[in-house]
Structure formats: C-alpha cells, structure tokens
C-alpha cells in the first residue's frame, strides 16, 4: 500500500527535508508548530484522527513521522518543563493517538540519550544515561512511545545538519566565508548526519512499514557512517569551501563550557539499521562533500533573494540547535555574526 505521512515539526530541518525528498506517490502533510502543537492533546488527537480517516479513504497507509522536538539543548537546562512537554509528553500524546487509530509511528530521537563515556559505538540496547536535561527529556519520549500500544519505531540519530535551520555545518560555512580564526572542541566525537540522508532513511523505513515488511527491531540507529570530532568536522567544511583549514584550531570542552553537558563520544552503531535490511547512510565525509555545495548554493540564493538583508541562517545562533554550540571565535567581526 502507498504510504502517506503526517510529519509534526514539518517546518524544522528534518521536517522540511522529508517534504522535499518524499518520492512521487508518497503524500506528506507537514504541519509546523503553529499548525499542530504537540503539547495540545486535543489538537494531536484530532489531527491524527483526521489524517488516518483521509488516508484510508484514499486507500493509503497512514504513518506518523515525528520530527517535532524542543532542540535548544542549552536552554533546556533552565527550562526543563518546556523540554519535557515537547520531547516527552508530546510523543506520549502522539503515540496514544496513533494507537487509537492504528497508525504506525516513527519517532526520531538522539545520541544524547547516552552518557558518552563509551569506547566503541553504542548499540541500540546499551544502557542509556543522558547527562543533559535535553537528553533526559528525549529518553522519556522514547520510553513513552515504546510503552504505548502504538506500532512504533524509535530512530536515533546524531549531529544533524542541512540547508534549513541553525546547525553546526551552516555556522562553519558562514565563518569560512569570513577571515576570523576560531577554536572548536576536539574532544566531542559523533557521526555527522546530513538531514537529506536521514530523511531518505526514514522514507525507506516508512515504505517498508507501509509495504507490510516492517523491521522487527523497534529501536534503530540512523546516522552518517564513521565518526569524527567537531574540530575535524569544522576543518572538513573549510576544506570543502577552499578556505584555509588552519584557521580552525582545536580546543577542549573544558576551555569552552556550555550550560548543557554534551556526550564526549556518542557514535551510534548502525548494526540495527543494517540488520533491518535498510540502506545505511553514506560515510559522513562523503555526505559532507555532497552537502556543502548544496547548502552553500541555497544560502547564496537566499542572500540574492533577500538583497543585502541577512538570511535566517546568518542572523546568528538562537541557541536552538543541539549541534551549534561547540566553538568560539577568537575574533568577532560584528555582533550579527556572533554565535
């Protein structure tokens, strides 16, 4: 049966990629936060009920892909109630509605559910041990989804970047275009994941669910291949743009403290994804080579469309992304550039 997707958080970086990459024949409804607030139980129940009824009237398989989340990792430390409302209660409400209408749920989660003190990639059944409020709220969301009566899968990913929203790679692209030197932490390691590759993986999984051959494992890891440090990732972005990578210097997390602790090592094993017969995303470095020109040309087009006004990407980090807070500039050319 052909799938049709309901994507709460549809205007976030992953949500927008799912809309862009859905193959012909796969319908997508992608309400943004203003259109569907995951913390509003009545609205969630009504949205899933209406979506399921419409899908079945068209002879399609309805699937919910939850791309909504509170992703302001540092802000969550002082706003736990908001983080838990969106990342824990929201998925619980969504899962209850999915169970009530027999709609499968794909729920996206994070490497931040792990403590980050491992010396090998985390398997799906390794014990969780989140160090941050954000990680604890996401773990609570995972558990709510898996304990619900819904047919549900939890898909963990890491260091997501793409053309939309605030993320580490976009921040490095902006900095590479200037002449500032910067310090980036060299003691946090994970797998960068291009949002397009994550979206492709989720769409492949949705097609399997709709086709009646869902994976047996209900927790899956979907990330770029390999792993690297923030510092090496930053240098790789500079290399891709032809900027001097020596402008990026290594520093330690202790030298650059943030409100929320980040895992030191959170590479996720992709054995679960392979065992499910799903296509593992390409190695992070190859993905970056494909992503940087795509992201850079999108930014250039944005700048042309906006005249001299700064784009949303160049207005600076609002602190929303879980990936963008790992570096400091030694020189700050202007307040608008500060991140």
Kindly tell me which of 75 and 296 has the beta carbon lying closer to ligand NAP: 75
Cα separation, 185 vs 256, in Å, equals 8
DSSP for 56-69, please give it: HHTT-EEEEEE---
Task: State the nearest-atom distance from the C-beta of 217 to ligand NAP, in Å.
Answer: 18
DSSP for 8-40, please give it: TTTTSHHHHHHHHHPPTT-EEE---TTT--TT-
Decide: 224 and 189 in contact? Cβ < 8 Å: no
Residue 255 sits at φ, ψ, to 5 deg, of -75, -15
Kindly tell me which of 40 and 179 has the beta carbon lying closer to ligand NAP: 40
Task: State the nearest-atom distance from the C-beta of 67 to ligand NAP, in Å.
Answer: 5
Does 122 qualify as catalytic in the annotation?
no
Kindly tell me which of 148 and 321 has the beta carbon lying closer to ligand NAP: 321
Residue 81 sits at φ, ψ, to 5 deg, of -60, -45
Kindly tell me which of 43 and 241 has the beta carbon lying closer to ligand NAP: 43
Place of tokens 């992709």: 270
Token pair for 218: 């209900």
CB-closest chain residue to ligand NAP: 12
Binding residues for ligand NAP, per CB under 6 A?
Answer: 8-9, 11-14, 32-33, 36-39, 67-71, 86, 90, 108, 110-111, 138, 157-160, 165, 320-323
Active site residues: 134
């Amino acid at each position: 049966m052909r799938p049709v997707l309901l994507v709460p958080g549809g205007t976030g970086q992953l949500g927008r990629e799912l809309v862009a990459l859905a193959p012909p024949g796969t319908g997508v409804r992608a309400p943004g936060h203003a259109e569907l607030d995951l913390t509003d139980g009545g609205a969630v129940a009504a949205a899933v009920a209406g979506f399921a009824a419409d899908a079945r009237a068209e002879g399609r398989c309805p699937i919910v892909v939850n791309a909504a989340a509170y992703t302001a990792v540092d802000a969550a430390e002082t706003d736990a109630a908001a983080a838990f409302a969106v990342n824990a209660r929201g998925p619980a409400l969504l899962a209850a509605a999915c169970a009530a209408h027999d709609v499968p749920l794909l729920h996206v989660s994070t490497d931040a559910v792990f403590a980050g003190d491992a010396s090998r990639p985390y398997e799906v059944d390794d014990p969780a041990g989140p160090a941050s409020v954000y990680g604890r709220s996401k773990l609570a969301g995972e558990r709510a989804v898996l304990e619900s009566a819904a047919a549900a899968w939890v898909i963990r990913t890491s260091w997501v970047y793409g053309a939309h929203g605030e993320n580490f790679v976009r921040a490095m692209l902006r900095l590479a275009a200037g002449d500032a030197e910067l310090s980036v932490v060299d003691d946090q390691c994970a797998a960068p994941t291009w949002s397009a590759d994550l979206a492709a993986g989720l769409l492949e999984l949705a097609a399997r669910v709709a086709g009646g051959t869902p994976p047996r494992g209900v927790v899956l890891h979907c990330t770029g291949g390999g792993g690297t440090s923030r510092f090496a990732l930053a240098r790789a972005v500079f290399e891709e743009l032809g900027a001097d990578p020596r402008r990026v210097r290594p520093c330690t997390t202790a030298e650059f403290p943030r409100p929320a602790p980040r895992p030191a090592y959170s590479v996720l094993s992709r054995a679960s994804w392979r065992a499910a017969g799903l296509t593992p995303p390409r190695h992070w470095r190859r993905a970056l080579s494909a992503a940087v020109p795509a992201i850079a040309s999108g930014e250039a087009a944005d700048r042309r469309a906006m005249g001299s006004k700064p784009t949303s990407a160049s207005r600076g980090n609002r602190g929303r992304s879980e990936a963008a807070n790992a570096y400091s500039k030694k020189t700050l050319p202007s307040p608008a550039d500060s991140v």
